[in-house]
């Protein structure tokens, strides 16, 4: 029996550009599947995926949850006798998937290449600059005003007690970026779930779980596993990544809490207590948490930066925009955030305002490009893990028909 294989040459070209240029070195020895903790007798990962990638079978790979379950621990690459770097190939497939599922397509394509870096920085930089200009707050405050308000008057000030002017303009910038990221993630995950279902032969569910059931039985256990980093702990070659990932993850969780608290305090409680519109005291527990989280963010991403550089120097990984763009963005958020705080404490408004502007740009970049960069694995991998549980559940498989 013969099989007609129609390779997608553009897909192969994209994979090579994203770090999968070693793909053709693979000669199917299965060493990668032997050392991979995700592999099983019935699912020889990532050997199967390497075959599909060599054949250019894009549709099979973008709907393969295993590609997203891989966290690129490096074991397969370290033990590969041919230097095929399966970890990089899988990373390249993930990068292609984020672009393929990305919405809107133009923004997803823009965020996929280092050649577009000037525009990737320029879009948020110009938006914030224009808003800053329109707000009427584009001036450097006096030392006394800076000591009193910090960056609370960056976009100007008014006496309208229901909403501080600075909060309004920050909301006008960040909320649309967050909204776009959330909707794009929803669109992408929906398309990915459909592709995974078709690929796995999951037809109409025997009975459909309700939203609370889906969250309780599939999504929440996946989130818990990710927070605990259970699969990371099985890595051998690149175990140091755990030391970088954990502080970054907890820093983001802490900063999410701080952001939520600030929104509640300034946008809601501030209506009744106008003094909450000013900068927090350094001894406020939430402020302490924010500063500790910012330091943890920089330390964690610094560990990942050094780890990635060492892997590339040792020939265990390829230098790709896909991997470095997220590292640069997170480091930018952390360094500019800490820098702005330091300049506020020492009272240098001229430099502080510039650094704070760069901080807003880096934060907006992180939100705006989240669904299309390596940061997207936070969403896609979570739902891939949920799908892994769902496809083997009684919702899909009738236990009475199991042999």
SS3 64: coil
Q: Which residues of the chain have pLDDT under 70?
A: 1-7, 203-206, 234, 236-240, 274-275, 277-278, 398-403
Tell how far CA 254 is from the center of its chain: 16
Same domain, 119 and 96: no
Structure tokens at 256: 């999410």
What pLDDT is recorded for position 71? 79
For the residues of 69-90, what is the DSSP string, one character each? Answer: H----SHHHHH-TT---HHHHH
Q: What is the pLDDT of residues 355-392, one digit of tens each?
A: 999 999 999 999 999 999 989 988 999 999 999 999 88
Residue 3 belongs to some domain of the structure: no
Q: In this structure, are 65 and 114 located in the same domain?
A: no
Same domain, 168 and 299: yes
> What is the DSSP-derived secondary structure letter of residue 218?
I
Distance between CA 345 and CA 171 in Å, rounded? 25
Q: Please, what is the end-to-end C-alpha distance for the chain in angstroms?
A: 28
Shared domain check, 327 and 208: yes
Evaluate whether residue 112 is within a structural domain. Answer: yes
* CB distance 300 to 248 below 8 Å: yes
Please tell me the distance from the alpha carbon of residue 153 to that of residue 156, in angstroms, as a whole number: 5
pLDDT digits (tens, 9 = 90+) for 23-60: 888 888 989 999 888 887 778 889 989 988 888 888 88
User: How many Å apart are CA 80 and CA 25, to the nearest integer?
Assistant: 10
Domain identity same for 167 and 51:
no
Range of the domain at 72: 9-101
Q: How many structural domains compose the chain? A: 2
Residue 313: count of CB within 10 angstroms of its CB: 10
The answer to the question of residue 18 being in a domain is: yes
Task: Indicate whether 401 belongs to any domain.
Answer: no
Does 83 lie in the same domain as 35? yes
What pLDDT does 204 receive? 65
Torsion of CA 51, 55, 57, 58, to 10 degrees: 90
Query: Are 159 and 174 part of one and the same domain?
Result: yes
Q: Is 396 inside any structural domain?
A: no
Same domain, 384 and 336: yes
């Amino acid at each position: 029996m013969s099989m007609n294989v129609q390779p997608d040459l553009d897909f192969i070209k994209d994979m090579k550009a994203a770090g999968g240029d070693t793909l053709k070195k693979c000669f199917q020895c299965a060493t990668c599947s032997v050392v991979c903790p995700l592999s099983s007798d019935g699912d020889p990962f990532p050997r199967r995926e390497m075959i599909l990638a060599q054949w250019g079978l894009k549709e099979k790979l973008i709907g393969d949850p295993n590609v997203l379950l891989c966290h690129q621990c490096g074991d397969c690459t370290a033990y590969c006798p041919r230097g095929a770097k399966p970890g990089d190939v899988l990373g390249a497939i993930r990068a292609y998937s984020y672009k393929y599922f990305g919405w809107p397509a133009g923004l997803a394509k823009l965020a996929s290449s280092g050649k577009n870096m000037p525009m990737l920085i320029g879009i948020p930089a110009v938006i914030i600059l224009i808003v800053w200009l329109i707000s009427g707050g584009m001036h450097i405050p006096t030392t006394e005003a800076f000591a009193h308000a910090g960056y609370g008057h960056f976009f100007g000030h008014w006496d309208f007690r229901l909403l501080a002017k600075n909060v309004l303009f920050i909301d006008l910038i960040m909320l649309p970026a967050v909204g776009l990221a959330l909707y794009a993630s929803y669109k992408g995950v929906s398309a990915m779930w459909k592709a995974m279902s078709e690929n796995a032969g999951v037809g109409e569910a025997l009975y459909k779980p309700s939203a609370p059931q889906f969250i309780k039985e599939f999504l929440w256990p996946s989130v818990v596993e990710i927070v605990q980093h259970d699969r990371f702990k099985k890595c051998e070659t690149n175990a140091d990544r755990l030391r970088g990932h954990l502080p970054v993850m907890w820093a983001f969780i802490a900063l999410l809490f701080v952001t939520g608290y600030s929104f509640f305090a300034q946008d809601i409680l501030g209506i009744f207590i106008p003094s909450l519109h000013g900068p927090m005291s350094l001894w406020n527990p939430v402020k302490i948490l924010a500063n500790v989280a910012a330091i943890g963010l920089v330390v964690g991403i610094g560990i990942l930066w050094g780890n990635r550089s060492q892997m590339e120097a040792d020939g265990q990984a390829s230098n790709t925009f896909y991997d470095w763009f997220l590292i640069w963005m997170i480091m930018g958020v952390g360094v500019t955030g800490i820098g702005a705080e330091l300049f506020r404490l020492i009272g240098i408004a001229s430099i502080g305002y510039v650094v704070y502007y760069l901080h807003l740009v880096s934060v907006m970049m992180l939100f705006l490009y989240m669904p299309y960069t390596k940061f997207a694995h936070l969403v896609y991998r979570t739902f891939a893990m949920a799908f892994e549980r769902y496809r083997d559940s009684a919702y899909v498989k009738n236990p009475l028909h199991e042999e």
